[in-house]
Amino acid sequence: MLIGLLILLLLALITGFVYERVARAVTAKKFQPEGELIDVGGHKLHIVSKGTGTPTVVFESGLDIAGSLAWHAVHDSIAQFTQAVAYDRAGILWSERGKQPKTGAVIADDLYKLLKKSGHSGPYILVGHSLAGIILRPFLDKYRNEIVGLVLVDASHPYQLERFSPEANKTMKLPPSWLIKLGSEIGIIRFAGAGPLFNTEPSDSNNLIFQARAPMSMYGVADEIKHLEDLAKESQEFGKLDSLPLIVLTGNHPERYKQFSDSILGLQINGVWQDLQKDHLKLSTKSEQVMADKSIHYIQFEQPDLVIKAVRTLVESR
């Protein structure tokens, strides 16, 4: 009986592994990179550039598998009045994982090399969503002289893990990174499906790419989940931005707390989140907050016009 079950399990694992390998081969042939693959030192990163002009707007995505696709609802519009680039962090979508450790300093150096090697010189306006509120801080500190503006899109805060209660942190944790990687390798993640992206049709080309490449992207996401606490502590070392123009966009949908199964805990989490959003304003002496009343978290999908307007404001204020 036991031997029979083990044989069935082994066959299921082999079948899943083969299924995933075939699916990846089909995906690689069907969905080519939209932009360029640039070697940044032992591994290649994918960057998508649109538009012309200066300053160059640089999008940084959050802790998800969308990568550069997270900005498709605003990328073209912003590219109508200046150059705008989106990229995939190491291990996400078309970008190779490489062998570098997952630290804020490495992410910053990767991005800077990518921008320079792809011909995108400063000055830069950074636009960061969610996790970008943490991982962009080393970049802001190291390359401050080349940055002329910052838009934080419902961004994470370096002290949020410490401010949230243990119960809150537990609700936001994903499965262990090893389990995510296993699910990716044996086809479980692909079979379960991903998406669709916010406010898009399932047949949208971006959704098809997103769903097809999601299992491979889980490698990079798993690494970031594993090192999230270290990334947050690392970002605490970096302080003020003087008078750098800063716009903080904050999701303020009246039912935002309902995304959590426990509504009371959801209210507590949202309360802390809103306080931390206000704390972002202290980064600069020239900051303002814009409340996105129809958005929960992905403002660039839920109210893209707010992101576009914020970027335009910083571009035109120079």
- For residue range 103-140, list pLDDT tens digits in order: 999 999 999 999 999 999 889 999 999 999 999 999 99
What's the burial of 122, exposed, middle or buried (CB within 10 Å: 0-12/13-18/19+)?
Answer: middle
- Domain positions in the chain: 31-316
Q: Which fold has domain 31-316?
A: Rossmann fold (3.40.50)
3-state secondary structure of 45: strand
Q: What does the alpha-carbon distance between residue 60 and residue 126 come to, in Å, rounded to a whole number?
A: 7
* pLDDT value, residue 264: 75
Q: pLDDT tens digits for 51-105? A: 999 999 999 999 988 999 999 999 999 999 999 999 999 999 999 999 888 999 9
CB 235 within 8 A of CB 138: yes
Tokens for 115, please give them: 């921008």
pLDDT at 174 over 80: no
* pLDDT value, residue 193: 74
Q: What does the alpha-carbon distance between residue 153 and residue 84 come to, in Å, rounded to a whole number?
A: 16
Sequence-distant (6+) residues with CB within 8 A of 53 are 81, 82, 83
DSSP 131-200: THHHHHHHHHHHTGGGEEEEEEES---TTHHHHS-HHHHHHTPPSPHHHHHHHHHTTHHHHH---PPTT-
